[in-house]
Amino acid sequence: MGFFSSLICAIAPLASAFSVDSTDVLSGIADECQDVNRPIEVYHNPSLRQLWHNYSLTQVGAYADLRRDVSETIVPELGSGDAFYSIEASSYQKHGSSFTVWGSALYRRGHIYDVLYNESSDFNRLRPYVIGDTIGGNLSSSRYGVSGGLSKRYSKFILGLEAAFNAKQEYRRIDPRPNNISSDISLSLSSSRCLSDNSCLAVAFSVERYKQSSDIKIVSPLTRFTPLHYIGLGYDMTRFRGMQPKSYYKGYVLSPRADYFSSSFLASLIYNHSMYEKYVQASMVDYLLNKLNVKSVELHSSLNFSDCHRIQLSAKYTKRIGTEIVYGQPVNSIYSKISESNLYRRKEYSADALYSLRYGMLLCDAGIGYISDVEEYLYPYSDNELQNGVNAKIAMNLMLHREKTHIIPGAQLSLDGISNATPRLGLNPRLYINHSISNTLGWSFFVDEKLFVSDSSILSSSFSLSFAFLFF
């Protein structure tokens, strides 16, 4: 949903030229999304989705994404690259002025290359408590997702509801052969109070349930496979080292939020509390190995000085606390719990500021950000500074049009100064093409290339391509 929304916002500034008359819905897109960087975080609140558009819109598209990373900051657990294609469909339907429904469906399939020290899925969610080995290899991945919601206005109040379900499978057809199946289901309830004709205050609460099962098989007797249960910074649990038990994860996410919406100012305050548990099955008994407690607070805001000037600010703080369960020697194949300790800790701070300027056919953005990301293992003590530095970027987009076709070429130049790595220079050319077939039908094309270089060598690259039909 986020990628699709960004795409629509990006092609929207020129959509008004498609208009045949003043009621053409494509003019409405120009009114709703006036530049390529319009923040949409506030619209993740289900009740405020009522105010997102004043028209109905259905989108069906196909996407392709390629990534390759050979930099010194690569995370081997995520692989050195991937290749995915996906098919997505979403619909936003207005029924009168007070009732709105929306929904989406997604199918995504591809491969992740050169994964090492990780045989589990959703590494960023469960880090560091994954099962890994020193063999690794490529992984095949399939993902399915559906979501839907509704929003109803009652005088000055708006009520919203949204639900989503995602399922994913990752596997390998050569030794070692993991088969990971994960799923999450979420529900969000929201209420808004309209303070005036163009301002609203909203609150929402969402809950998510997460599960993952993992089973690793070895077919060839020549494969020397030693599964490791990682606990952070390269350490693993010696008690279950080398065993090939089945494992599974379960957890939940609780997320209250507050949002303010007006024509000149948008703000979102979001709190997330996640808890995950990792279990292994040995001798038909399930043992709790680790607990991961994650808390985060984030703030997003946008101030519009005029139709041509905008400042966006965001900040986020995340803290991860990991707990290890210690077991003694087995008695009659049963392990007894001895103790549990909070030994893993990770803290991440980030802040960003972005200034946007629209001058005629030219859209310019200039931004600066800071990030600090440090993880620690308390006994024996060790730490690792994952990131610490300043990044800056400047982007330009030129809006061109001819009859019913709009072309928006653009480029972004960025510089990442990370303390434990060589500074990286990023170049991001991109191209949007939008064509109006009729008042109610159009298509869009998007291509995006990102390159990061240092010392005249390419460290990483990613390529995205999409084509979508839009029905109004």
75 — pLDDT class (breaks 50, 70, 90): confident
pLDDT digits (tens, 9 = 90+) for 213-237: 999 999 998 888 889 999 999 899 9
Within 10 A of 432 (CB to CB), how many other CB atoms are there? 24
Those residues whose C-beta lies under 8 Å from the C-beta of residue 394, and which sit 6 or more positions away, are: 364, 365, 366, 367, 412, 413, 414
Reported as half-sphere exposure (CB side, CA atoms, 13 A), residue 239 has a value of 19
Instruction: Calculate the average pLDDT of the chain.
Output: 86
Whether 272 and 256 have beta carbons less than 8 Å apart is answered as: no
293 — pLDDT class (breaks 50, 70, 90): very high
Whether the predicted pLDDT of 207 surpasses 60: yes
Whether the predicted pLDDT of 10 surpasses 50: no
Q: What is the DSSP string of 428-445?
A: EEEEEEEEEEETTEEEEE
414 vs 14, more confident = 414
Domain that holds residue 109: 2-471
> How confident is the model at residue 466, as a pLDDT?
93
- The phi and psi torsions of 263 (rounded to 5 degrees) equal -70, -25
> How confident is the model at residue 311, as a pLDDT?
93
Within 10 A of 302 (CB to CB), how many other CB atoms are there? 21
pLDDT digits (tens, 9 = 90+) for 15-30: 333 233 323 444 434 3
Q: How far apart are CA 332 and CA 245, in angstroms?
A: 17
Quote the tokens at residue 120: 């589990």
Single-letter amino acid, residue 278: K
CA distances from 107 to 126, 142, 167, 172, 415 (A): 23, 8, 10, 19, 34
Whether the predicted pLDDT of 39 surpasses 50: no
Whether 460 and 71 have beta carbons less than 8 Å apart is answered as: yes
Q: How far apart are CA 180 and CA 121, in angstroms?
A: 6
Q: How far apart are CA 245 and CA 291, in angstroms?
A: 18
What letter does residue 417 receive in the DSSP assignment? E
Q: How far apart are CA 77 and CA 123, in angstroms?
A: 7
Whether the predicted pLDDT of 309 surpasses 80: yes
> How confident is the model at residue 410, as a pLDDT?
87
> How confident is the model at residue 243, as a pLDDT?
77
pLDDT digits (tens, 9 = 90+) for 245-279: 689 999 999 999 999 989 889 999 999 999 999 99
> How confident is the model at residue 2, as a pLDDT?
39
CATH number for position 184: 2.40.170
Strand, helix or coil at 244? Answer: coil
Q: How far apart are CA 413 and CA 427, in angstroms?
A: 5
**What is the enclosing helix (H) or strand (E) of 58?**
strand 57-69
Whether the predicted pLDDT of 33 surpasses 60: no
Tally the domains of the chain. Answer: 1
Whether the predicted pLDDT of 292 surpasses 50: yes
- The phi and psi torsions of 39 (rounded to 5 degrees) equal -70, 135
What number is the average pLDDT over the span 119-139? 95
